[in-house]
Structure 1
Amino acid sequence: MQVPMLDLTEQYSSLRSEVLEVLDKVMSSSQFILGPNVKKLETDVAEYSRVAHAIGCANGSDAIHIALQALGVGPGDEVITTPFTFFATGGAIVRAGAKPVYVDIDPITFNIDPAKIEEAITDKTKAIIPVHLYGQMADMERIAEIAKKHHLAVVEDAAQAIGAKHNGKTVGELGSAATYSFFPTKNLGAYGDGGMIVTNDDEAAENCRVIRVHGSKPKYYHHVLGYNSRLDELQAAVLNIKFPHLDKWSELRREKAQMYTSLLKEKVGDMVVTPIEKEGNYHVFHQYTIRVENRDELQQFLKDQGVQTMIYYPLPLHVQPVFKDLGYKEGDLPLAEKAANEALSLPMFPELKTEQQEYVVAKIAEFYGK
C-alpha cells in the first residue's frame, strides 16, 4: 500500500466545479489585485478569528515580518521565540532588523515553554512570537500575562493552527496580532502562496495595509519602507470556496488523530509517544507528530513500505548555520534538540482512509517487533 503524507486530489475533486467557476469569474473581471475576493476573505477570517481586522498578504513568512514592523519592532530590538519551528519564524525577526532570542520548549506540546520566557527578557526585548506548532495553541494566557507585565507585543505564528483554540479563545484574541499561512499544504490551503495577519489593534492593522503596498499612502506617496506583499485575488477566490469547509476538515483531522492514537497504543504501546492535547485546547492537527527512538531508521523502514512521513524539524533554529553569529551551540536548548531527533509526522489529511492508518500503524508495530 502507498500512503502519501498529504493527498489533495480528493479535496480538489469535490470542489472542482466551484473552483473553476470562481476562477473564471476572476479572469473575466480582470481584477487581479486586492479585489472583492480578498476583501471577502479578510472579512470572514477576521470574524472567524474574533478580531477587528484581517490583512491579506503574499505568504505566511511576510505576514510575520509585516506584523512585527507594524508593531514597531526594528533594529536593536530583541524578539523571544521558539527554536523548534519552521525557518520563517526566525527569518522574519531578522528581516525586521531585530535579533531572535530562543528559549526552550514544552516537551509535551513542542510549543514554547512560558516558564522560560521571563528569564530571557532584557531591556531590548520588544516582542514574543509563540508558534502554535502542529495545530495546537501555545499557553497564550500565560504568555499574554508576561507580555502585559513587561509591555511587550505578542505575534502569534499560527501558520499551522487556523481554527485552534485555547480555553475558548481563538488565535489572535490574546495576542497583539496573529499570522496565518495559506501554503497549499496547510489546513486551509491555497493553490499557491498566501498569508494573512489578524489583529484587534487599529493602528497596527493600518500599518500592515500600508506596508504590504510598498509603504504607500496615498498611492505613490511613501512615508515608510514597505514591500510588495499582497494576497493574490485568484488565491483568495480559491480560499473563499474552501473556507466554509474548514471546521468540518478540522473535525475530520481530529478523528484521524484519535484513530492513530488508539491504534498506536493498542499495537505499539510505549515504544511511541503520541501527541497530547493539553486540557482546554482544541487541536486542529495540521500534523500528527509522534516521538520515537531510532526515528531515522523508522522513517526509512516506513518509506520502504510505501508510507511517506516528514520530520518537522530536523535542526532547531538556534543551531542553524545562518544564525551562528547569535552565539548558540548544541546543548543550549536541550529539549528542542531532543525533539528534533525524535519527532516524526505521520500522514495526515481529512480524506485519509482508516485502512491507510491501520497499515501505517501495522508497519510501525512491525518495525518495533510488536
Structure 2
Amino acid sequence: MRDLLQCREDIDSIDRQILDLLEKRMDVAKDIAEYKLSHNQSITDTSREQIKLQKLREQAKSHGLPASYISDLYRMIMKNTCAIEQQHIIAKANSSTIIRDTSIAHLGSTGSYSHVAAMRFLEGFKGNITASGCDTFEQIVGQVETGKVEFGVLPIENSSSGSINEVLDVIQNTTASIVGELFVPIDHAILGTSASKLEEITDVYSHPQPVAQCSNWIKDILPKANIHYTKATSEAMNIIRDLNSPHHVAIGSHMAASYYDLIPIVDNIANNTNNYTRFIVISMTPISVPATIPAKTSLTFGVQKYTPGSLISVLAEISKHQLNLTKLISRPRLDRNKDTWEEIFFADIEGNLSSPELQDILEDIKPFTSTLKVLGCYPNSEEKNNQR
C-alpha cells in the first residue's frame, strides 16, 4: 500500500501539469481568436463542438473514464476558451480604450454578490484592479460618471424576483453606457456562527432582494423570525460576525461566508433552485463589438402618449427586421415639465448596434416614440454556443 502523503504529492504534481496545459490551451485560443478576427469568422462553431465532444467521450471510455464526466469537464473548458477568445477580440477592437490598471464600483463590500460579479467581469484582466464598494446604486453610477472608476456593475434582474426596478430607474438618465453583462449563479444560504442552530434563530439580516428570493423558505421554516434589511449581503454578514449571536443569521453567498468567519447552516434556500442574477457593466467609454461576436443592444424609449397603437408599432418594426427582442419592461417616469407621468420602456435586442438592421430599427421606430436612447451595445452573454 502506498503512503497517503506520497499519493497526495503525486496528485499535486499532476494538478500542476494540468494547469500548465490549460495555460498553453489558453494561449492557443488567443491565436485562434487572431485568425478568426483577421478572416472575419464567427467565434462560435456548434458543429465543431459536437464532433469534438463525441470524440472525447469515445476516448474517455478507452481510458476507463466516465464519458459524462469528460463531457461536462470539456464543456466547461470550451466555454472558458470561448470567453478568452471573445475577450481577446474585444480588446483588439477597442485597443485605444484599454488601460493597464482599472477600477470597478459595486454594491456592498468584499463577498457581496455584486463584488463576485465585478471580479468575474475582470478575471481575465492583467493589470491592477481597484474595487470600490458602494452603499447604493446611485453611488455606483455617480462614481462612473465622475471618473472615479472605469466600470460599475449593477444587478438588473433575477430569475426569481424579476427586474430590479431601482437599477432601471437609475440607468434612465445616466450618461454612461452598458459595455457588458454577465449571469452569476446565486446560491443563497443561511449563514451564522458555529453555535447557531436552526430552531433557535430569531433574526434574519439581508438585502431586500435575497429576502424576496428566499421568501418561501423563510415563510415555511422561520415564519416568526424578525427580518432586518441591509444595504448589501456583505453588510448583513458583517453584522452577524460582530453580533456573534447564535440567534442572529444572515442570508448570503455560501462562498462569501469565510470572509466573515461564518458557516453555512442551510444551503440552497432560494425559491428557484436555478437562481441567477443578470448584472450589467457600465462605463463612460462605449465599446465596439466586432460583427463576429454575438451582440446585444439595450434601448430605453417612451411612446407617443396620445397616439393609439404606438407601442405595437414599435414592436412591429423590430419584428419586421427579424431581430429577437429578449426583454421588454416598463417603468413610470415623472415628466417634471408637464407634471404628468409617462411609461418608459426598456428593451434588449439581440443584434449589433453597428449593423444595418439595428440602424434601420432605430430610424423606423422614431415616429412612434417620444424619447429614444441607446443604453449600450455589448457582447451577448446569453449566447450559449460556446465551443472550441
Normalising by structure 1, what TM-score?
0.30
**Structure 1 or 2: more strand by fraction:** 2
TM-score normalised by L of structure 2: 0.29
Larger Rg belongs to: 2
Higher relative contact order (CA 8 A, sep 6+): 1
